[in-house]
Structure 1
C-alpha cells in the first residue's frame, strides 16, 4: 500500500499555504494530522497531486477563549491538547467527553479537529458535536474569509462547503449559557471503532426547572451528521421527565436516515438511537440541574 506520486510543500505561514492552495486548486490537499488523509492515499482512494503540509505553520496551532467565553481552536491544534485542557473541560465538557471516544490515544496525539471536520465522515463523533454546540467555522482563502455555521458545512459523505481554494482555519464554539447540561453517548463494536450510533445532547433549564433550549445531534445516523430539530423543539417547555425523553427518542427515529455498515443494519442503528437518546438526555438534564 503506497500512495500515488505527489509533490510536497511545507509553508511556514498561512499566506503561503493559501497561495499554494489557490495555485493548485483541487489538485492540492492540506495535510494536518494526516490520520484520515494518509491512509486514504495509501489505499489510493485519495490521490492528490500536491500536499500542502501545515505542520510548520505555528500560527494555526492555537487554543484560546475569547472575551465572551467562546472557544477558538486553530487548524493545527491536536485532539490531545484539547482533551487535556482544564479550561476546556470546565467550560465545554461535551467536547472533552466526546473526544475520549475518538479512535485511540495515539491517533488523538497526532490528529486535529479541523482535519477531522474537513474530512466530514458522517460516522465521526466530532461533526455531530459541532452541531450540538452550534459551532461556526472560519474558512480562509487568499484575500478573504467567511464564517459558516456547522449545520451548513456538512453537505454529504466526505463533502463540505469548503471551496477548492479554502482552508478551515479556525473553529468557533460559543460559551454554554448558565443552566446548561451536556452529554455524549455512543455504541461501538470495540472502543476506538467508529460508532454504530452516537448522540450528543445539550439541554438548558430555566429557573423553574423547565427546559428552555435543547439541541440533539447524532453521528452514524445519515449521510451527514444529523441535527434532530423536531425532537429538540418538542423538549422545550417540558419538565424533562422520562416520558419527555421517550417522546423525543420516538421523533429522532423518524428524523434519521442511517445508511448501515458491515457492523450494523439501518434497522439496528435506529434501535440504538432509540436507546441512546433517552439516556443522553437524562444525563444532560441531570447535569443541568
Structure 2
C-alpha cells in the first residue's frame, strides 16, 4: 500500500481497501513498523469503498464541496517544515512553506474564527497520524487560501486531494455538485472484482486473492505467457517441418523407384536432384 518510511500514496490505500476492505483491529493490528501488507488478514472485512475520486488540484473551493457533500478527503502537503513539526495549536499559517508533498493528512472539516484584531480567518480541520500528543489532540487547523483556482494552499495542501466514494449521494446533492462545477475523476472498476462477479465468485476470497496476485504481478504473468506461446509456436513449426520433410523424402524415394523400374537397375538415373524442390520456410 505504501513505501514504508519513505511515504505512500492515498490512492494505493483506496485500491487496497476497495479490493480487501477494512478489518477489525483484532484481525489486523497496527504494528508501527515497516513491513508488507498481509491480504490474508482481510478475510472478514467490516467496510469497503466502492470507488474513489481525484479532486481537481489547486482548487480549495472543490475541496470544501467534497467535504460538505461526500466526506473527509485525503491530502498531501509538505510536513517537513520545522513549524509544522513543532505545531502545538492554533491556526497553522506558514506562507513560506514549500508545496512539495511528503506527508498525508485527512481533512475532516473546515471552520472560521475571528482574531483579536478582528480578522476573519478560515481554516481546514485535519487529522494527523502522529498521535494525540501532537497538535490539538492529534488534529491541526490549517489556514485556507483565497479559494480561487490555481491556489495550492498552505504547504501545498490542495495540490493532490482525493476522496473515497463509499455510497450514493443524497437526493439533490448531485445536482448541487454539478452546478458548482465539482467534477471527480473516478477510478476504473477493479478488473479482479468484475471478473469474479461474472463467474459468480465475487464473495469467494480465494478468487479475489488469486486474481489480485495475478493482477499485481501482471508484468511477470504476461512475460511467462508470452514465452510459453513462443515456445509452443516453435514446437509446432518444428513438428510441421519434420512432417513436410518426411513427405518430401517419401515422394523422392518413390520417384527413384519408378525411375529404376523404367530404365533398369544399371541405367543412370534421370532424376536431377539439384532441381528437386525442398520444403523451406521464409
**Which structure has the highest strand share of the two?**
1
Name the TM-score, length of structure 1 as normaliser.
Answer: 0.23
Structure with the larger RCO, 1 or 2 (CA within 8 Å, 6+ apart)? 2
Name the TM-score, length of structure 2 as normaliser.
Answer: 0.24
